[in-house]
């Protein structure tokens, strides 16, 4: 079954973690033995090879560089430095395109063409990617955003962690201010997809009240299941459903079970499994009364590895275990296809007309 993943930090892994994603997961793990500069060394789950193995033919792939110091990801001192970092990441995606490993998708025609090629298996299985920016601090001004659009950017999240330039993100409290409003106006004008993931509650609702364009949540779970502001409340989920949006559920263990302690808990000690991922999918389906608004936004290798993801997932190819769990819970074949790929594809087809 074709799987779409709506959130992967591929370039971050390649450029900052120094992982050659053209190799197997096993090979990358071996190459990191003895390294301890990052908590997830030797525990990676993603490579382009593993994605092919799992029939993950399409993904949203990020550029990522914030300006917030002291958070768990690199914080730059200025937008200009953050911009440079994201340009390095883009250069890696372009290099993968030249190798035939990836294919950038920016329009409906390109989407349809890619899916046809993927299903027919006619080329060397280039993985399709839609370029997204996670946290907008690298956007120096609105001209920069136009330049990014010309480079193929099609989705953007205004904030990541902490207080950003355009909005307040995870673990902060505050609104979007005049800069955020200017950004949202430009996003709408360019027909970019607004990614509401990582917005704190106040910034989320301020955004919802003034933004009329296309929006999704690329990697978000349910607050009902793990009570943290990074997760969406039922009201937030319902708002997204009402706007014909798409929500990708994430596989980071702390977002799947309550009381996860980073660096202390293990997938085994808290029995974190793909069943917990399906709990989140199911909760969103129950709120919408159908299977049309949810998919997979795994965030695998998003600064955590299999020390902090479901115990029954060794590599990203194991996303293929989710359909069986959905079936056991009574989901029909078409429901399962909706969740694994069709909802995402339909979202783009509806909005990229
Ligand atoms: Zn994220």
Q: Is the pLDDT of residue 336 over 90?
A: yes
Q: How far is the CA of 116 from the centre of ligand 1 (A)?
A: 30
Q: Which two three-digit tokens encode residue 323? A: 């359909």
> What is the 157 CA–ligand 1 centroid distance (Å)?
9
pLDDT digits (tens, 9 = 90+) for 51-96: 999 999 999 999 999 887 765 566 899 999 999 999 999 999 999 9
**Which stretches of the chain are DSSP H helices?**
10-15, 25-31, 48-53, 79-99, 108-120, 142-150, 177-190, 201-210, 234-242, 274-288, 322-328, 333-337, 343-351
Q: How far apart are the first and last CA of the chain?
A: 26
- As a whole-number percent, the residues of the chain with pLDDT over 70 amount to 97
Ligand 1 centroid, distance to 134 Cα (angstroms): 7
Looking at residue 192, its pLDDT comes to 98
Beta strands 193-195 and 215-216 are parallel
* C-alpha to C-alpha distance for 94 and 82, rounded to whole angstroms: 19
254/234 Cα distance (integer angstroms): 19
SS3 217: strand
- What is the rounded distance in angstroms from the CA atom of residue 38 to the CA atom of residue 209? 39
Q: Which residues pair with 248 in a beta bridge?
A: 295
- Average pLDDT over the chain reads 96
How many separate domains does the chain show? 1
Measure 292 CA to ligand 1 centroid, in angstroms: 23
- For 28-45, what is the mean pLDDT? 96
Percent of the chain exceeding pLDDT 90 equals 94
- Check whether 332 has a pLDDT greater than 90: yes
pLDDT at 58: 98
Distance from the CA of 252 to the center of ligand 1, in angstroms?
10
- Quote the pLDDT of residue 73: 60
> What does the pLDDT look like over 225-255, one tens digit per residue?
999 999 999 999 999 999 999 999 999 999 9
Residue 12: closest CA among 285, 244, 352, 303: 303
- What residues make up the domain containing 321? 3-351
Q: What are 299's two structure tokens?
A: 């965030």
Q: Residue 53 burial by CB count (10 A; 0-12/13-18/19+): exposed, middle or buried?
A: middle
How far is it, in rounded angstroms, from Cα 242 to Cα 277?
Answer: 23
Return the CATH number at 201.
3.20.20.140
Burial class for 3, CB neighbours closer than 10 Å (0-12, 13-18, 19+) = buried
Residue 198 pLDDT level (bands cut at 50, 70, 90)? very high
Q: Which whole number is the average pLDDT over 132-138? A: 97
């Amino acid at each position: 079954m074709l799987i779409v993943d709506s959130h992967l930090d591929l370039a971050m892994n390649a450029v900052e973690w120094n992982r050659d994603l053209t190799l197997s997961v096993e090979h990358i793990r071996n190459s990191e033995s003895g390294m301890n500069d990052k908590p997830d060394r030797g525990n990676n789950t993603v490579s382009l090879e593993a994605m092919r193995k799992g029939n993950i033919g399409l993904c949203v792939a990020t550029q990522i560089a914030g300006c917030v110091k002291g958070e768990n990801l690199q914080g730059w001192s200025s937008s200009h430095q953050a911009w440079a970092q994201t340009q390095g990441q883009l250069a890696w995606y372009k290099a993968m395109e030249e190798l035939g490993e990836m294919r950038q998708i920016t329009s409906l025609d390109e989407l349809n063409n890619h899916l046809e090629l993927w299903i027919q298996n006619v080329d060397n299985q280039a993985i399709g990617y839609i370029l997204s920016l996670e946290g907008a601090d690298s956007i120096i001004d609105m001209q920069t955003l136009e330049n990014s659009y010309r480079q193929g950017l099609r989705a953007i999240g205004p904030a990541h962690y902490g207080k950003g330039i355009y909005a307040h993100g995870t673990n902060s409290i505050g609104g979007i201010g005049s800069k955020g409003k200017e950004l949202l106006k430009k996003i709408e004008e360019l027909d970019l997809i607004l990614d509401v993931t990582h917005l704190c509650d106040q910034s989320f609702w301020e955004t919802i009240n003034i933004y009329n364009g296309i929006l999704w949540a690329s990697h978000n779970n349910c607050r009902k299941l793990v009570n943290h502001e990074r997760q969406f409340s039922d009201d937030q989920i319902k708002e997204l459903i009402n706007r014909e949006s798409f929500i990708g559920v994430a596989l980071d263990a702390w977002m799947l079970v309550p009381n996860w302690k980073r660096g202390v808990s293990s997938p085994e000690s808290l029995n974190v499994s793909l069943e917990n991922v399906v709990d989140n999918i199911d909760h969103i389906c129950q709120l919408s009364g159908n299977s049309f608004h949810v998919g997979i936004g795994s965030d695998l290798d998003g600064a955590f590895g299999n020390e902090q993801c479901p115990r029954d997932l060794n590599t990203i190819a194991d996303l293929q275990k989710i359909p069986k769990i959905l079936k056991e819970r009574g989901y029909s074949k078409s429901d399962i296809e909706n969740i694994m790929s069709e909802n995402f594809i339909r979202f783009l087809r509806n909005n990229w007309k």
